[in-house]
Amino acid sequence: LTPGNVILYKRAISVYENNKWEEHDGKYFINGKEATSYTFKMNYYWMMGDNRHRSQDSRYWGFVPEDHVVGSAWLIWMSYDKGIRWNRIMNKIR
């Protein structure tokens, strides 16, 4: 755990994995013990929205616990890259 990556992991460690998180004098403590690393108990996903400029996705929420995932994509509804890519619309995701 470093000042550069703790912002990504702090919420998952404290909220989703039910640990007590503290920071003192530039050091991190999990359940009262100084921690320089952490092994996650659950699986997590980094979710990305398809509207990169306006999506509220993992760039906003952080990592998503596996037990919070309620579905998965299975169909390409729209595909656009300098124009509509008609050959991809309504195809199953492989």
What pLDDT, in 10s, does the model give residues 5-32?
Answer: 998 899 999 999 999 999 999 999 999 9
- What average pLDDT does this structure show over 59-88? 89
Q: Does residue 44 lie in a domain region?
A: yes
Q: Does residue 85 lie in a domain region?
A: no
| Residue 38: partners with Cβ closer than 8 Å, 6 or more residues away | 1, 9, 13, 30
What was the pLDDT predicted at 11? 92
Q: Does residue 93 lie in a domain region?
A: no
Domains contained in the chain, number = 1
What was the pLDDT predicted at 35? 97
For 43, the domain range is 6-68
- Indicate the helix (H) or strand (E) that contains 65: strand 64-65
Q: Does residue 73 lie in a domain region?
A: no
Q: Does residue 86 lie in a domain region?
A: no
